[in-house]
Structure 1
Amino acid sequence: MATAVPKPTISASEWEARQQLAACYRVFDHLGWSELIYNHITLRVPEEENAFLINPFGLLYSEVTASNLVKIDIDGHVLDGSPYPVNRAGFTQHSIFHRHLPDAHCIIHTHTTAGMAVSATQEGLTATNFYAAAFIDRIAYHDFEGVTIRPEEGERLIAHLGARRIMMLRNHGTLVMAKSLPQAFLTQWMLQRACEIQVATGAAGTPVEIPPDVIAVHQRDLSGVQLPAGPGVPDFEAMVRRIDRIDPGWRG
């Protein structure tokens, strides 16, 4: 049974972050992006430079709540007295980016079927659909080195990422990082759609490549079709409303 962390020990800003992250886990579960008890979405705790929230290792995404998220430091040490462990393989990878990238407030790692399939191809993501066009020349690639529990891999991960904030872990899955959770969510949603459509296109026939000049125009104009609330905010809020109608228990 999921165990809650006592609310009195949590500040208002941390509680808001906990609710946002718990909602995100439930959204991922609803969309079929969970992987049993594995994979992670991490979020920096507001007003605390080296404190992060992560899912309790052993719980399904559908069991994550605001209270049972685990608060850890940059080295993965539990800060809130949580009875749950943290998946070492998961946070080793996330801590590298949180440590070195001040703008990586939210990091998402998934093993979706479409994401893993595209990551396992020589071509990676190709310019063959509406969503993929947004990511051309904006994705980094890192070759598979086995399960991520060795800190020395971090130097190569950072080097391969460079100035980008989206990474295909070859033969493994995808990584998305952003300045906010809603922005990371929308990026993940678009990347997932791009991968799904690419896989379907390959089964349907010969893919048609989008010309580079069209891609440039597409990327330039994308911001013009967004609502002013901020990147991903209305999209994420819409999904939270859907999750609330299914089970609002994540809020507690």
Structure 2
Amino acid sequence: MSQPTPMPIPVDRLRLALPPEGLSTAELRQHRKGRLAAALRLFGRYGHEEGVSGHITVRDPEFDDCYWVNPFGMAFAHVTVSELVLVDGDGQVLEGRHHVNQAAFAVHAHVHRARPRVVAVAHAHSTYGRALSALGHRLEPITQDACAFYEDHAVFDEYTGMFVDDSAGRRIAAALGPRKGIVLRNHGLLTVGDSVDAATWWFLQMERACQIQLAAMAAGKPIVIEHADAVATRTQIGSDLVGWINYQPLHTSAVRAEPDLLS
């Protein structure tokens, strides 16, 4: 007698913390700030910190052209909710006692403006992202996880020095288009999401995919997953909701290990 086919479990019955609904503006603001502080701690834990480089921005739920961001010059390991800075689209500090990295807003503000549904933008000078960017390569669908980025990331194929002017920010936002990530040639990676959780997960996954691709290229010629299979896999694992779900163990581990981040 054959075994019955298992039925998939509906997402709403999974015992997972799903994106919050029905929050007031103040509650949603505090929620986003807490996720931002935790994401920055994780960036520090994974070594995605290079001096004063690297930043994650999250859109304020009330003021669309204002963003919460990590303080300039503060180690990711020291960031707390109360230390976060609120800036307007021009990078002017509206709330907080620290300065902000202006390079963050030469790019981040333009991405946020071009993508009104994007809540968070993540960028750091990670090791393998920089290595792949130095080759000017995009990610290839050579693993299941890399398929999340198949035809859903871009390469900004120029180097303009430090991103301190509006022109570079506009061009990067245009090159990113509707995608979830971009390889900035000779610079690093940038990802976006409809939550801090999704944007951070995509960054961590994009960095890991860069590492795996470089290792595979060094060992031989990687076998590329066929187009139809890569598209189907992306459909299954490439949404921001799936990114959110995958990220939850990391968020929980950060908060449990470093509860002071929420202060």
Corresponding position: 1:147 with 2:162: yes
Question: For the structure 1 residues 61 and 216, does the alpha-carbon distance in structure 2 shift closer, same or farther, using more than 3 Å as the test?
Answer: same
Any idea what the Cα deviations from partners look like across 1:47-77, whole Å, max 9, x if unmatched? Answer: 2222210110010000100000001111111
Q: When the two structures are superposed, what TM-score results if normalisation uses the length of structure 2?
A: 0.83
Which of residues 89, 94, 98 in structure 1 aligns to 2:112?
Answer: 98
Any idea what the Cα deviations from partners look like across 1:105-161, whole Å, max 9, x if unmatched? Answer: 100012111111111214322222222222122111112111100112233223322
SS of the equivalent of 2:189 reads strand
- Aligned-residue Cα RMSD (Å) equals 2.1
Task: Structure 1: state its 5+ residue gaps.
Answer: 1-9
Superposed counterparts of 1:186-201, under 5 Å: 186-201=201-216
Superposed counterparts of 1:66-215, under 5 Å: 66-80=81-95, 82-142=96-156, 143-215=158-230
SS of the equivalent of 1:32 reads coil
Which of residues 73, 83, 88 in structure 2 aligns to 1:58?
Answer: 73
Any idea what the Cα deviations from partners look like across 1:154-184, whole Å, max 9, x if unmatched? Answer: 3322332222231110111111011111111
* Aligned-residue offset at 1:17: 1.9
- How many residues were matched structurally? 238
2:248 maps to a residue whose letter is: E
Any idea what the Cα deviations from partners look like across 1:192-229, whole Å, max 9, x if unmatched? Answer: 22111111112222222222232123223337xx9xx9
**Counterpart of 1:19?**
34
Alpha-carbon distance in structure 2 between the residues aligned to 1:213 and 1:195: 22
Name the % identity: 32
- Contact 1:186–1:231 (8 Å) recurs in 2: no
- Contact 1:110–1:173 (8 Å) recurs in 2: yes
Q: When the two structures are superposed, what TM-score results if normalisation uses the length of structure 1?
A: 0.87
Alpha-carbon distance in structure 2 between the residues aligned to 1:55 and 1:242: 20
* Aligned-residue offset at 1:29: 1.3
Corresponding position: 1:238 with 2:249: yes
Question: For the structure 1 residues 87 and 234, does the alpha-carbon distance in structure 2 shift closer, same or farther, using more than 3 Å as the test?
Answer: same
Question: For the structure 1 residues 49 and 248, does the alpha-carbon distance in structure 2 shift closer, same or farther, using more than 3 Å as the test?
Answer: same
**Counterpart of 2:259?**
248
**Counterpart of 1:216?**
231
Question: For the structure 1 residues 166 and 245, does the alpha-carbon distance in structure 2 shift closer, same or farther, using more than 3 Å as the test?
Answer: same
Any idea what the Cα deviations from partners look like across 1:9-63, whole Å, max 9, x if unmatched? Answer: x944322221111011111111222223321100011122222101100100001
Alpha-carbon distance in structure 2 between the residues aligned to 1:242 and 1:155: 36
Task: Structure 2: state its 5+ residue gaps.
Answer: 1-24
